[in-house]
Amino acid sequence: MGWPSMPDTDTATSAAQTALDHLWMHNRSWAADAELGGPRVITEGQGIRVTDSRGRSWIDVNGGYMCVNIGYGRRELAHAMREQMERLVYFPQGATTEPLVDLAAKLAQITPGDLERSWPVTGGSEANETAIKIARAYHKRRGEPGRYKIISRLRSYHGALGATMWLGGEGGREDYEPAPPGMIYAPHPDDYNSGVPDDTPSRCAVRSAQAIERLIEFHGASSVAAVIAEPVSSSAGAAVPGDEYWPMLRQICDRYSVALIADEVITGFGRTGTMFAMEHWNVTPDIMTMAKGITSSYLPLANAIVSPRIADVFAGSDNIFRQALTFGGHPVTAAVALRNIEIIESERLVENSRVVGAHLLGRLTALAEDHPIIGHVRGLGLLIGMEMVADRDTRARFPKDIQLGRRLRLAFESEGLILSPGDERITIGPPLCITTEEADELTAKLDRAIAKVERDLRR
């Protein structure tokens, strides 16, 4: 893929203005963008880098929304898309297609344990919404219609649709009240932010799992449908739970006949150094959701895959799971997903995530020694978080009026990094194709940017 050598400034300005006039972007204000000359318009990409309409090259630190797993510019996926479109672009009602059948079989092969039956959708929010609906319908078909409550963990993110919007219990939902009934919130297994003196990952893991059991007992198991959680939470800054957490959670859900949903929308397809993050603990959920890396976001596709224990209650002509989505299971997206998974496997990108991720984690941990505002670094594979603090000993955060996140973002931009931190943490999840040399380049740029912010804060 060629890079533009003589960008058309007028065209770039026009594109930015058109975006300001007509586009409603994710979690952004067009008024704020207008003060900066309009949003950044990206025109090309290769590997971990993208080029904007003004000809400037950037490192896309998080590969979109931690989703461009194989990197930008892979023509193989464009070819797979075109070949399928030339053969068949859609399907009649009541029929399916070869790419989707092949994909369902492939997913049954590579997912943990006995997960085997897929319900394809178009995005992570839809996958998690579908998982919740399956869990509730499952209990109803088992003769327990009172099980409707969903336990999620504080500070988690599972989507932006009807029920999923209310999972995680954080703010920003005031415009959409009232919340649906049955949303219950558990503590996160994050020992750094637990507030318990001298906490450890192990103690925090046990305590957090036990908290979920107490919630099930308090509300009554006969009212609880499912527990949903990310194996490693990106929204909580790559908080890796202690090893006791997931096996305990599996046992608790079994004890009370509660469905366990693992949200692998971000962690799936190699992000944490295994194909799916649940493999780190050898735990199989009842339902697992996936998106993003399933096509490396070259096309929109997501999926909820379930075990036979869940699927079998929907067997029978009058007992179907009632949901239809026009673009769920589209043959073109399925063909792209198959080619994408083939690339992940043949180029050993899961192993690369593990190896380069460990290298990057080591470099960032060493970096923290030189920067007092980095309180803690943690992660698994190429999902790494840095906790930002005003005082490393007390773990106190910077006041909101300092606008640490904005300061960091601007400093990152000056280094050619596209990375949007919050006021409390930075989460890093680059494409899985990143090399050791590129990880070192990224570390050097982060080093300079954070040093600049620290100098500004001292002033």
Q: Which of 346, 368, 396 is the last residue of a domain?
A: 346
SS3 393: coil
Tell whether 2 is covered by a domain: no
Tell whether 259 is covered by a domain: yes
Residues 131 and 274 in one domain: yes
Residues 333 and 226 in one domain: yes
Predicted structure pTM score: 0.94
Tell whether 193 is covered by a domain: yes
Cα separation, 261 vs 240, whole angstroms: 17
Q: Which of 275, 234, 236, 240 is nearest to 428 (CA)?
A: 234
Tell whether 180 is covered by a domain: yes
Strand 383-388, strand 374-380: pairing: antiparallel
Tell whether 1 is covered by a domain: no
| Structural domain boundaries enclosing 314 | 76-346
**Both tokens of residue 92?**
């009649």
Strand 57-60, strand 417-418: pairing: parallel
**Which CATH number fits the domain that encloses residue 372?**
3.90.1150.10
Tell whether 20 is covered by a domain: yes
Q: Which helix (H) or strand (E) holds 227?
A: strand 224-229
Residues 122 and 264 in one domain: yes
Residues 284 and 396 in one domain: no
**Which CATH number fits the domain that encloses residue 96?**
3.40.640.10
What is the DSSP-derived secondary structure letter of residue 294?
G
Residue type, 263: D
CA–centroid distance for 101 within its chain: 25
Residues 172 and 257 in one domain: yes
Residues 372 and 389 in one domain: yes
Q: How many domains does the chain have?
A: 2
Tell whether 249 is covered by a domain: yes
Residues 320 and 355 in one domain: no
Residues 364 and 262 in one domain: no
Instruction: Please count the residues of the chain.
Output: 459
Residues 341 and 356 in one domain: no
Residues 43 and 153 in one domain: no
Q: Which of 317, 346, 375 is the last residue of a domain?
A: 346
Residues 226 and 277 in one domain: yes
Q: Which of 315, 346, 377 is the last residue of a domain?
A: 346
**Both tokens of residue 391?**
């005082």
Tell whether 377 is covered by a domain: yes
Per-residue pLDDT of the chain (459 residues; tens, 9 = 90+): 444 444 566 666 788 888 888 888 777 776 777 667 778 899 999 999 999 999 999 999 999 999 999 999 999 999 999 999 999 999 999 999 999 999 999 999 999 999 999 999 999 999 999 999 999 999 999 999 999 999 999 999 999 998 999 999 877 788 888 999 999 999 999 999 999 999 999 999 999 999 999 999 999 999 999 999 999 999 999 999 999 999 999 999 999 999 999 999 999 999 999 999 999 999 999 999 999 999 999 999 999 999 999 999 998 878 889 999 999 999 999 999 999 999 999 999 999 999 999 999 999 999 999 999 999 999 999 999 999 999 999 999 999 999 999 999 999 999 999 999 999 999 999 999 999 999 999 999 999 999 999 999 998
Residue type, 284: T
SS3 287: strand
Q: How far apart, in Å, are the Cα atoms of 368 and each of 350, 377, 385, 395, 434?
A: 26, 8, 12, 14, 21
Q: Which of 449, 431, 438 is nearest to 60 (CA)?
A: 431
Buried b (16+ CB within 10 A) or exposed e, 425-452: bbbbbbbbbbeeebbebbbebbbebbeb
Residues 119 and 195 in one domain: yes
